Homo-oligomer: A and B are copies of this chain.
Amino acid sequence: MYRILKTEGMAKRGELKTVHGTLQTPLFMNVGTAAAIKGALSTEDLNNIKCQIELSNTYHLHLRPGDKIIKQLGGLHKFMVWDKPILTDSGGFQVFSLTTLRKIKEEGVYFNSHIDGRKIFMGPEESMTIQSNLGSTIAMAFDECPPSKADRSYIQASVERTTRWLERCIKKLGELNLLDDTINKAQLLFGINQGGTLKDIRIEHAKRISEFDLPGYAIGGLAVGESHEEMYETIENVVPHLPKDRPTYLMGVGTPANILEAVDRGIDFFDCVMPARNGRHANVYTNKGKLNMLNAKYELDDTPIDDECQCPTCKRYSKAYIRHLFKAKEMLAMRLCVIHNLYYFNNLMEEIRYALDEGRFAQYKKMRLEGFLENDKK
């Protein structure tokens, strides 16, 4: 299913075959939280910006419109009209970051909806059922992402519970994939490594979950406040203890520099809301670093965001026009910048893959990092 095509140091160039097509890794997942990319992008737009795989959020779709409704409508692929792979997260991260009055028990988590306050319970079985109803290509295991400031004993206990929850996820998804009315009977499950920045707990947990021989493994709980050095160190500690012949996914990361460093340490999958969020706030990525489209110096600039960029925005529109659209509060401003930013990330991954194919990733990484503005190097 997953095979490594090439390696360079710890960096892997791989591919993952799924029922929705073959993914070329390393890759960046474009985030469509509520079954849509924020910034008015349609899935047709995604097809024009080198997007291989879309990521949607289990928690949001469970609350609205409801996973049962999406199942009745034929699953998430049909609902949002996207026939390439979709990864759904487990809902865990949102439950721990968006909700109030949470109670974590062995069976799962009791919490209040951030939309209408109603009480909801989600445990491993519920998360798997929801993701099965959505029919995503890859489901994520239900885990706890412990607070970054939590003490050692809390993290130890949390990680052990996450392992027990993983066993329940595997059992439940196995059952769901056998049912007649399941949308995607070949739904894959990725396990998630946790442990904060505590090296021994991270490694012990990585070894433990590797025993389950899952089709992929994620590193969760990073990019939540620790330094970039701690993040890179944790990846270096964990990756050697995950099966090499499985794709690895660094959840919620990150900047172009983060991605280059993490690929170098063996990561295949990335996702991050920042390119779309930055685009909506007039911040755009280039190989020289980020630019702010509201800058007065662009008032008469008839060149594109990036002369070398082949994205649908840069092929047509000038900085002066985009700046005007932001000043005039035209929604098109956000759409054009989100298109550019997601293309930038998808294209960066393509360049990384080509560099790996040709055995010059180290050189490519060095060139890119040197090109970024100081602020964008971290």
Contact = CB atoms under 8 A, between A and B. Distances in A.
Interface in A309-346: 312, 316-318, 320-321, 323-325, 327-328, 330-332, 334-336
A327 B64 contact: yes
Report the copy number of this chain in the oligomer.
Answer: 2
A39 B331 contact: yes
B317 A81 contact: yes
A323 B70 CA distance: 13
A60 B316 CA distance: 23
Contact of A300 (B72, B299, B324, B336): B72
A79 B320 contact: yes
Contacts of A316: 42-44, 81
A321 B44 contact: no
Contacts of A336: 42
A38 interface: yes
Interface stretch (A29-37, A168-176, A184-192): A29-37
Contacts of A332: 36-37, 40-42
Nearest to A317: B81
Contacts of A335: 40, 42, 331, 335
Nearest to A37: B332
A115 to B, nearest CB: 10
Nearest to A299: B69
Contacts of A367: none
A245 interface: no
Nearest to A325: B36
B328 A36 contact: yes
Given A41-B332, A42-B335, A312-B44, A74 B302 contact: yes
Contacts of A321: 35, 73, 79-81
Interface of A: 34-44, 60, 64-65, 69, 72-74, 78-81, 299-300, 302, 312, 316-318, 320-321, 323-325, 327-328, 330-332, 334-336
8 contacts: A35-B321, A35-B325, A37-B332, A38-B330, A41-B332, A42-B317, A65-B320, A69-B299
